[in-house]
């Protein structure tokens, strides 16, 4: 490779060097979720760019779902130009991801330089992620529907919470059990909505934020929607937050999700004017395309 660069899979022993890049370098794109990027080391689709046995740049998009993944990390040393580091690693990533099959790579970037890289590489800006905030002195007074009780979430509930999560969200936004376990571990308040038969039909997980608290996850199973369960979860949450002297709660949602935006505004959340673009790059299923082409040839 030119300039003696080499690309290889990132390994567990790279943890400290990658952590140093993330801490000391100026150009760092990190996907905001509950797992630190170094926790994915050893997973497929995680590469380092080396020169003289030194890591120059890192690109990671390991999967937790079959058909989608997030661009979880990109960073590099200042001694290599940003665009050069990106182009070398993304070219390699495209080749391996195309061989994998049909998959969508998504990225939410707060940095202009990263947004420009994504746009120049064929990523499309699908929509915006919008931020909303609730800041009141009194809790939202929302009663639970008949037959529904709200209680504290327990670790043993997470497998049932996963069922609600998978039903309520599209593939890109679904969380595997491991992610829910980490979210639960970081929560300041986590509750479930339970039927009188013991079935968990909704839940929320809230974490701390620099300004108060952040509603990281709120979901109601499709069978229980439009009954006021989500509002009851929010009402109970605001009561618990104010008891902890936390008077601000943030949340984000997609600009295209009109139902979600309407729900939050109805419950007293206001748009903060903060918006961040969601980009995606869709790979076709090359293997399937070849099979279809061969079938067509045989048919002719």
pLDDT band at 141 (very low <50, low <70, confident <90, very high): confident
**What pLDDT score does 284 carry?**
84
Calculate mean pLDDT across residues 49-63. 96
**What pLDDT score does 142 carry?**
86
| Domains parsed from the chain with CATH numbers | 2-128+280-289 (3.40.630.30), 136-247 (3.40.630.30)
Whose tokens are 């797992």? That residue is 35
DSSP for the chain reads -GGGEEEEE--GGGHHHHHHHHHH-S-EEE--SSS-GGGGTTSSSEEEEEETTEEEEEEE---SSSSEEE--EEEE-TTS-HHHHHHHHHHHHHHHHHHH-SEEEEEE---HHHHHHHHHTT-EEEEEEEEEEE--SS----PPPTTEEEEE--GGGHHHHHHHHHHHS-GGG---HHHHHHHHHH-SEEEEEEETTS-EEEEEEEEEETTEEEEEEEEE-GGGTTSSHHHHHHHHHHHHHHHTT---EEEEEETT-HHHHHHHHHTT-EEEEEEEEEEEEEEP-HHHHHHHHHHHHHH-
Average pLDDT, the chain: 92
Which has the closest alpha carbon to 191: 206, 178, 181? Answer: 206
**Would the pLDDT of 3 be above 80?**
no
- The pLDDT tens digits of the residues spanning 236-284 come to 999 999 999 999 999 999 999 999 999 999 999 999 989 999 999 999 8
**Would the pLDDT of 300 be above 50?**
no
The share of the chain scoring above pLDDT 70, in percent, equals 94
- CA–CA dist 64, 70 (Å, integer): 9
pTM of the full predicted structure? 0.88
pLDDT band at 290 (very low <50, low <70, confident <90, very high): very low
**Would the pLDDT of 191 be above 80?**
yes
203 in Cβ contact with 233 (< 8 Å): yes
**Would the pLDDT of 2 be above 60?**
no
pLDDT band at 59 (very low <50, low <70, confident <90, very high): very high
- CA–CA dist 197, 208 (Å, integer): 32
**What pLDDT score does 287 carry?**
56
| Assigned token pair, 75 | 């960073």
**Would the pLDDT of 143 be above 90?**
no
pLDDT band at 140 (very low <50, low <70, confident <90, very high): confident
């Amino acid at each position: 490779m030119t300039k003696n660069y080499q690309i290889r899979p990132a390994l567990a022993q790279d943890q400290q060097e990658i952590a140093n890049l993330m801490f000391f370098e100026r150009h760092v794109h990190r996907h905001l979720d509950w797992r630190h990027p170094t926790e994915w080391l050893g997973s497929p689709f995680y590469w380092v760019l080396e020169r003289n046995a030194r890591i120059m740049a890192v690109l990671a998009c390991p999967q937790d779902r079959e058909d989608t993944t997030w661009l979880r990390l990109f960073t590099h040393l200042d001694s290599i130009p940003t665009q050069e580091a990106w182009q070398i690693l993304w070219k390699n990533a495209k080749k391996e991801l195309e061989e994998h099959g049909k998959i969508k790579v998504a990225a939410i970037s707060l940095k202009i330089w990263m947004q420009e890289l994504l746009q120049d590489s064929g990523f499309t800006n699908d929509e915006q992620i919008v931020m909303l905030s609730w800041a009141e002195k009194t809790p939202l007074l929302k009663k639970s529907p008949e037959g529904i009780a709200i209680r504290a979430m327990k670790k043993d509930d997470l497998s049932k919470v996963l069922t609600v999560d998978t039903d309520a969200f599209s593939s890109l936004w679904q969380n595997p059990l491991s992610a829910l376990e980490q979210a639960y571990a970081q929560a300041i308040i986590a509750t479930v909505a339970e039927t009188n038969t013991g079935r968990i039909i909704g839940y929320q997980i809230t974490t701390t934020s620099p300004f108060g608290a952040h509603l990281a996850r709120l979901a109601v199973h499709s069978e229980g929607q439009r009954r006021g369960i989500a509002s009851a979860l929010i009402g109970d949450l605001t009561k618990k937050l104010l008891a902890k002297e936390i008077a601000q709660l943030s949340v984000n949602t997609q600009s295209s999700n009109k139902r979600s935006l309407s729900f939050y505004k109805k419950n007293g959340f206001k748009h903060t004017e903060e918006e961040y673009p969601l980009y995606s790059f869709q790979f076709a299923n090359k293997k399937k395309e070849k099979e279809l082409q061969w079938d067509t040839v045989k048919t002719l």
